[in-house]
Amino acid sequence: MRLRHATRSPARPLAGPLAALGLAALLAGPALAEPVFPSGSRFGFEPPSDMAPSRRFSGFERKEGGATVSVVELPPAAYADLEKNFTDENLKSQGFVVQKRESLKVAGGADAVLYTGEQPPEGNGGPAVQKWLLLVGDPSVTGIIIAQALPGAETEETMRGMVTGVTIRPALSLEQQVDALPFRIGDAGGFRPVRVLAGNSVLLTQGPKDQMINLEQPILVLAQAVQPPPAAEQRDGFARAALYANQTMKDFVIERSQSYRQNGVDWHEIVARATDLPTNVPVVVSQTIRFAPDGYLRAVGVVREDQREGTLAKFRAIVDSVQIK
């Protein structure tokens, strides 16, 4: 963290009530910094002044580049298995050479293990990346916190202090998680949120059940990605590849695939038939992608083929109502 100082004129003596307030402030000591929580995350940090919450992932990144801190949240039962499997050999196979490991207590007493090391340079001979991995085991949540920095971007003290100074807040309600999404749904059209994923995606359904067995209810997933979108001539191939990457369906037959422009925004939409793998039920899939200069919103709706009438129009109406924050 860079230290700065400013030159100021000599202070005038305080008098009356102002003097009392000034004395009280001195006696109270410096104000404690409030932890900053990535959108929808339970893990908060005190980042240095040159790092800010990322729009690309759950975590923080240095404004000038060269350093990031990312957070992954898992169920509490995952901690024991991860601690067992995070051996030097396993981490090395993933590009992380561990130089030191420490057992710690963080966030008011949660068990944690801090792994310190580096990511060796790639084949082109770039610099090694310093890395800190903190595995946190709270009774209510498991956290994997990964910090990394290029040489000279941040100090060891800064990165270690940020990671080990983690704060854990109580579980957020579904409403709070939806409010923290990077977009707002203007008209849910009778659908309701069931689950928020990774702080940038939401699963919605129409019907009383939260667990959809045999696709009894239509589902719609909205996800915001902050990364350069493909060029216009590549968008049809990009959209088809994204659709085919869905590993819960097979036997895709595309009914319609088109790019178009609406209200000054570029869109791409695919409607296809497919087979749901877990149930072998015929389904209809609607994928709509709305492109922006710095990213895109992707919506994937799935409905049983015998329930498609009217549902595809609802999918589209919901997507049209979404506003990026």
- Taking the CA atoms of residue 260, residue 263, residue 265 and residue 271 in that order, the dihedral angle to the nearest 10 degrees is -40
Quick one: pLDDT at residue 197? 86
Question: What is the C-alpha separation between 296 and 324, in angstroms, rounded?
Answer: 10
DSSP 58: S
* Per-residue pLDDT at 136 exceeds 60: yes
- CB atoms near residue 267 (< 10 Å): 19
* Per-residue pLDDT at 9 exceeds 50: no
Residue 105 is encoded by which pair of tokens? 């207590």
Residue 153 is encoded by which pair of tokens? 């971007």
Question: What is the C-alpha separation between 137 and 47, in angstroms, rounded?
Answer: 21
Residue 184, strand partner residues: 323
* Per-residue pLDDT at 3 exceeds 70: no
Quick one: pLDDT at residue 125? 74
* Per-residue pLDDT at 178 exceeds 70: yes
* Per-residue pLDDT at 124 exceeds 80: no
pLDDT tens digit sequence for 182-236: 999 999 999 999 999 888 999 999 999 998 778 899 999 999 998 888 999 999 9
- Comparing 56-60, 96-100, 130-134, the range with the smallest average pLDDT is 56-60
Instruction: Using a pLDDT cut of 90, give the percent of the chain over it.
Output: 80
Strand, coil or helix: 207: coil
Question: What is the C-alpha separation between 315 and 191, in angstroms, rounded?
Answer: 9
Mean residue pLDDT across the chain: 89
Q: Closest Cα partner for 50 from 3, 12, 14?
A: 3
Place of tokens 């925004």: 265
